Amino acid sequence: MSTSLEAIDRAILRELSEDGRCSFTDLAERVGLSVSAVHQRVRRLEQRGVLRGYQGKLDYEQVGLPLTAFISVTPIDPSAPDDYPQRLEHLREIEACYSVAGDYSYILLVRVARATALEDLLRRIRESANVSTKTTVVLSTPYEARPPAV
């Protein structure tokens, strides 16, 4: 994010990252502006691409996806084109794909219903992208998706 954001825009972003369903009236009260000024600033932040959307937070256990894992991906053929994100985007169990520095090329955040589904997903990842994988299963999540220190 650019450092060119004004303090009031940062305050708006902080509030929206904690409660994306916050009304313009409540948001205006929280940041000390009029409703029309907040609406205008939010629209400008959206147009600039700083505020890219609003997302519901799910309880993954209740939606049937209690198993979370990180899958580290390494190409079997290092000379192959680096198009792994495109090769894997059809796999809906992959929530996020991070390009990383270090021993691996990418780390995938995945959510599945059970261990057998994870095993099947690993097979499909290897087949789709011709990669080797290393998996870390999440035992618990003390916190997640915390609002950033904007």
Mean pLDDT of 68-80: 95
Q: Is residue 2 over pLDDT 50?
A: no
CATH number assigned to the domain with residue range 67-137, chosen from the 4 options 3.30.70.20, 3.40.630.30, 3.30.70.920, 3.40.50.720: 3.30.70.920
| 129: exposed, middle or buried (Cβ count in 10 Å: 0-12, 13-18, 19+) | buried
- Chain segment 12-70, per-residue pLDDT in tens: 999 999 899 999 999 999 999 999 999 999 999 999 999 998 888 899 999 999 999 99
- Chain segment 122-150, per-residue pLDDT in tens: 999 999 999 999 999 999 999 998 888 88
Query: Where are the chain's structural domains?
Result: 7-48, 67-137
1 to each of 45, 48, 136, how far by Cα in Å?
A: 11, 11, 30
Q: pTM of this prediction?
A: 0.83
φ and ψ at 98, to 5 degrees? Answer: -110, 125
Longest dimension (CA), the chain: 57
Q: 7-48, what's its fold?
A: Arc Repressor Mutant, subunit A (1.10.10)
Determine which of 17-21, 41-45, 86-90, 92-96 has the lowest per-residue pLDDT on average.
17-21
